[in-house]
């Protein structure tokens, strides 16, 4: 399985979720899943730390936006990629490329960018799982009307991975789309 990983890129914010991120990385590695990530900072660095603990694991693929965008947003490039895909475009183009390539999305923490990644994956009808109460993206998703019906929140790495393994990719979002104004 190919996993798109999202979450805080800022090391200060990511530090709070270090243990959960390492556990997720180790679990994904044990299952030999391929991991598709951005530059390798923040949450990603901890997930990669967990993956490094397993010798026989899936690949780690970095999808990088333009160098200009990396500098603009202050992201550093990690050093543990098996493959590096350098794109000339903006972050939004990178997200679309990863969304098309991957099977599911998992996030720990994050803000506006993570929320954008989640919604992009939903529109491609792919399962989305996020760790509960880890950032503004998980909190905001609850308040976007019908959106809350199309992603899963879990408390552990195991819960997140169990969900993406069992979720029906074809029916994650109905053909008629999301009812953004659902007011249950």
**The two three-digit tokens of residue 140, written as one number:** 């905001």
> 141 with 134: CB under 8 angstroms?
no
Domain containing 146 equals 2-171
**The two three-digit tokens of residue 180, written as one number:** 């953004």
> 67 with 88: CB under 8 angstroms?
no
The pLDDT assigned to 71 comes to 66
Residue 176 covered by a domain: no
Residue 160 covered by a domain: yes
DSSP letters for 117-182: HHHHHHHTT--EEEETTSSHHHHHHTTSGGGGGG-EEESSHHHHHHHHHHS-GGGSS-TT---TT-
Domain containing 49 — which CATH number? 3.40.50.450
The pLDDT assigned to 171 comes to 46
Residue 23 covered by a domain: yes
Measured torsion, CA atoms of residues 153, 133, 121, 128, in degrees rounded to the nearest 10: -20
**Does the pLDDT value for residue 3 go beyond 80?**
yes
Residue 180 covered by a domain: no
Mean pLDDT for 158-162 is: 97
| Number of domains, the chain | 1
Identify the residue with better confidence: 57 or 75: 57
Distances (CA, A) of 62 to 39, 59, 159: 6, 10, 25
Question: What percent of the chain stands above pLDDT 90?
Answer: 46
The model's pLDDT over 107-138, given as tens digits with 9 standing for 90+, comes to 999 888 898 999 899 888 899 999 988 877 77
Mean pLDDT for 71-96 is: 75
Identify the residue with better confidence: 143 or 152: 152
Beta bridge partners of 129: 106, 152
**Does the pLDDT value for residue 181 go beyond 70?**
no
Residue 79 covered by a domain: yes
**The two three-digit tokens of residue 55, written as one number:** 């010798």
Residue 123 covered by a domain: yes
- The conformation of residue 85, written as its DSSP 8-state character, comes to E
Residue 25 covered by a domain: yes
SS3 35: strand
Residue 183 covered by a domain: no
């Amino acid at each position: 399985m190919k996993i798109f990983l999202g979450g805080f890129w800022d090391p200060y914010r990511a530090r709070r979720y270090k243990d959960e991120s390492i556990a997720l990385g180790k679990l994904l590695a044990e299952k030999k899943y391929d991991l598709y990530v951005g530059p390798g900072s923040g949450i990603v660095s901890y997930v990669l730390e967990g993956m490094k603990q397993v010798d026989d694991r899936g690949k780690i693929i970095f999808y990088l936006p333009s160098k200009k965008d990396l500098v603009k947003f202050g992201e550093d490039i990690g050093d543990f990629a098996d493959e590096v895909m350098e794109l000339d475009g903006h972050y939004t183009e990178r997200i679309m490329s990863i969304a098309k390539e991957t099977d599911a999305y998992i996030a720990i923490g994050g803000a506006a960018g993570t929320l954008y990644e989640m919604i992009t994956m939903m529109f491609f009808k792919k399962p989305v799982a996020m760790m509960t109460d880890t950032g503004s993206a998980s909190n905001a998703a609850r308040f976007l009307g019908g959106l809350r019906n199309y992603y899963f929140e879990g408390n552990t790495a195991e819960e997140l991975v169990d969900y993406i393994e069992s979720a029906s990719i074809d029916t994650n979002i109905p053909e008629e789309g999301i009812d953004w104004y659902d007011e249950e």
